[in-house]
Amino acid sequence: MTALAAPDGAAAPPQGVREERKPSLRSVWVVFARRRYDEPLAQVGTVTADDPDLAMVFARSIYDEHPWVELVVVPRSAMYTVIAP
């Protein structure tokens, strides 16, 4: 399979292969959490931070209203829409 050239001249990843995007400064991070192990993760909000470490600190301090068993941050830039409204 031939890689297509990206607009900046770099080779694009092969079709069907998603290129990992690094979050930029002041990225929006989506926060997911769950209160019990038998519950699925659910989005509880967002935070804006420069890096993953700060995003984790902000998420923990802002969304501390429940004793979560799991709290996850994901850069919004890493999320892809599958079905749009």
Q: How confident is the model at residue 26 (pLDDT cuts 50, 70, 90)?
A: confident
0.85 exceeded by the pTM? Answer: no
24/72 Cα distance (integer angstroms): 18
**71 neighbors 32 (Cβ within 8 angstroms):** yes
- DSSP per-residue letters across 19-81: PPPPPPTTEEEEEEEESSTTSPPEEEEEEEESSHHHHHHHHHHHS-SS--SEEEEEEGGG---
DSSP letter, residue 16: T
What's the start-to-end Cα distance of the chain, in Å? 33
DSSP letter, residue 15: T
Domain covering 27-78, topology: Ubiquitin-like (UB roll) (3.10.20)
Average pLDDT over residues 63-83: 96
Residue identified by tokens 């979560």 is: 68
35-64 per-position pLDDT tens digit: 999 999 999 999 999 999 999 999 999 999
Residue 7 is predicted with a pLDDT of: 46
The domain spans of the chain are 27-78
